[in-house]
Every structure is written in structure tokens, then in C-alpha cells.
Chain A
Amino acid sequence: MERSVALIAIFAALIAALGLLPNLMLTSGVPITAQSLGVMLCGTVLGAKRGGLAVLLFVGLVALGLPLLSGGRGGLGVFAGPTMGFVVGFPIAAFTAGFVMEQLRSLPVGLAAGIAAAVGGILVLNIFGVAGFMMVLNKSLIETLTVFSVYIPGDIIKVVLTGLITSGLARARPASVLSRTE
């Protein structure tokens, strides 16, 4: 119990701390933040339940008014803005990534984490992101997808990194990668 609470809290803090790292720039000029990398890692490292709770805790604190999102954003305004779908989808994306990770125990850790991150962090997260964008800005699906397609290369990079980092963690701290040990 203590271990679960500590890991959930520290991973929520890790997402916030990753948001403070300077943005990486793609050659196309689209910024990619490390924050959604943190969301994917929560799922692939902590598993569905704890990973989802860690991200839910992070999103909850953003709603209460802490500036934890990248760029120092936070507060209730985030949930009324055009990117609200992503923030709302974060916990579900982490849960899905964790769930997929737990189903793929027979695969090597890195590969399983990559697949899990792609399903949770790209597919599920973008469904929420697109829905939020369509709702707030009253756009059609095609219009929204045109805007979002520029972020896909960055998402793919993050999926590969999630696989590499999760397999690194499984070697460095095998007992703490809860998605594999329990």
C-alpha cells in the first residue's frame, strides 16, 4: 500500500518535472514536449491501475490550480481550452497503455512497451484530443485531423523512446516495473 501510493505520487511528479524540460524541436518546427512521454511511461511501468491513478492524480492537481502542464499552464481554464481533450484523455491513455502492457507479458519488455504506448499514447489519446478540439472549436473531423497530423511524427518518436526507457528501467530496477512483476 505505502509502496503503491509512493510510486503513484512520484510518477505524477515525474510527469510534471518532464514538462519543465526544454521542448525538443522536430525539423518541421513542431515542438514535442516530454510530458506525454511521462504519461506513456506511467502506463508501461506502473501498469493499468496504478499508472492510470498516477496520471489521474496529476490531472487532478492541474484542475485544482497547480501550474504543472508544460509551459506552466494549469487551472480550470485548461479544461475549457481547445487542448482539453488531451488533458482529460491522459489518465485513460495511461490506463490503456498499462492494460496492453499487462496483456503482452510474453513479448520482450521494450517491444511490449512500444506497442502499449502506441495504443494508449497515440490511438486513445488522440481520440480524446480530436474530440475535445472538435467540441471547443466546432470543427469537423477532417479539419481537425489535418491540424493534428503534424504531431504524428513526434508521437512516433515518443513511442520508440517509451519502449527504450521502459526496457532500460526493467534492467536497472526490475522490481519496480510493476507492469511485469505483478
Chain B
Amino acid sequence: MISLTSPVKTAAHGWPAGGKLALLCAATLVLFAVDGAALHLGFLAATAVLYALPGRIFLGAGLKRLFVLWPFVALILLWHLITDDGAAGATIALRMVTAVALANLVTMTTRLSDMMTVVRWLTTPLRRFGVGTQSIELAMALVIRFTPVLANKGQALSMAWRARSVRRPGWRIVLPFAVTAIDDAEHVAEALRARGGL
């Protein structure tokens, strides 16, 4: 399973995940608390420097991930040009891009296992109320394992459809797809019970 962690090792990979998340929260709060296009241009420039520090490959990967925001940036700028309030539009667009860029930065420099440690720490208080936190971790592992499995089965179903019909496989394969998923779930449940259960 591919994750969004950057393949380029940075110094930030070694920092504690909880600290990075706390910093991100603080930075996002500041971003939404202050106004002014010039200020936000500065924030974005500072963020760009952070992206550029680990090198060109890291910067390229980061920019590619931000590219999905362009329709929203275009929408905002167009809207504010029509309503003749370009400065406010620039502030909103800059703030959005910076906030998403900073959050992506944390995701890119934090391994899934480190994030899981934070989750384990956050869910510890739940144990007092009798919630089995180990079943949360098992469920997470199951999702990671079964997403590619189900994706393959979905592909097989759509190929089987194409073999029989000239039309595109549409919503009609979702029902057999869901039936397959339910059968898989029942098998997994049986296997878990056979191995001593939760």
C-alpha cells in the first residue's frame, strides 16, 4: 500500500510526530486569525522555503500534491475580480494554499507507524471506559490490507462485465462488489474467532 510519506529522508522525519501535529495546529490557528494579503504572501513564501530545503525531488513531490487546489484558487480569484475585491480574494487563496501546504508537509515527513503511535496515545483514555483499543488497531490493519484486495476484485468484476457487454461497467457492478466485500468480512470474522477471537 502506497502512503503519502515522502521517499526523500528529511531531518523532520526524526522529529516526534506529536510535536509536529501540535505545531501544525498552532500554525493553522494563526493563519486563520490574521488578515492581510502581504502577510499571507510572506507565510506562503516561508512555507515554500521549508519545501525547498530538502531538495528538488521533495519540492516537486510537494508541488504536485498542491496542484489539486488550482480549481479553487481560480474560482476564488475570479469571484473576487468580478466583485472588485481582489485583495480579499488573494488573502483567502494564499491562506488556503499555505494551510494545505503545511498540513501536507507534516504528512510527507511523518511515517505511518509514527502516526499510529500518536493514535495509540490519544486512544489510551478510552481504555478506562472499557473500549478495546487493540480492536481499533486490528481494524486499521485490516483496512490497509483489504483496500488493494477489494480494488483487485473490483477490477476483475469490471473486466468480467466488459467481456460480456459493449457498454461501460457502471453502477451495476457495485452490488456484486458489495456482496464480495460482505463475504470477505464474514470469512475474516470466522478466521479471527478460530484463532481465539478478540
List A residues at the B interface (Cβ < 8 Å).
Answer: 1-3, 5-14, 16-18, 20-21, 24, 34, 37, 41, 45, 57-58, 60-61, 64-68, 71, 73-82, 136-139, 143, 147, 161, 164-165, 168-169, 172-173, 176
Contacts and interface: CB of A to CB of B under 8 A. Distances in A.
Contacts of A139: 79
Contacts, number: 185
Nearest to A165: B175
A176 to B, nearest CB: 5
The secondary structure that dominates the B interface is helix
A161 to B, nearest CB: 5
Contacts of B28: 80
Q: Which range holds the interface residue count of chain B? A: 35 or more
B189 A6 contact: yes
Contact of B101 (A10, A12, A14, A77): A77
A66 B142 contact: no
Interface stretch (B38-46, B52-60, B64-72): B64-72
Interface string B149-183: 11101100010000000000011001101110111
Given A14-B150, A34-B174, 10 more contacts: A1-B198, A3-B189, A9-B143, A9-B188, A10-B182, A24-B171, A57-B139, A137-B96, A165-B171, A169-B182
Nearest to B68: A73
30 contacts: A3-B185, A5-B189, A5-B198, A6-B189, A7-B189, A9-B138, A9-B142, A10-B142, A13-B149, A13-B150, A18-B174, A18-B177, A21-B158, A60-B140, A61-B143, A65-B4, A65-B5, A67-B4, A71-B68, A75-B103, A76-B106, A80-B102, A82-B96, A137-B76, A137-B96, A138-B88, A165-B174, A165-B175, A165-B178, A172-B179
Interface of B: 1-5, 24, 28, 65-66, 68-69, 72, 75-76, 79, 88, 92, 96, 99-104, 106-108, 110, 112, 115-116, 119, 135-136, 138-140, 142-144, 146-147, 149-151, 153-154, 158, 170-171, 174-175, 177-179, 181-186, 188-190, 192-193, 197-198
B154 A20 contact: yes
Contacts of B88: 138
A117 B103 CA distance: 32
A76 B174 contact: no
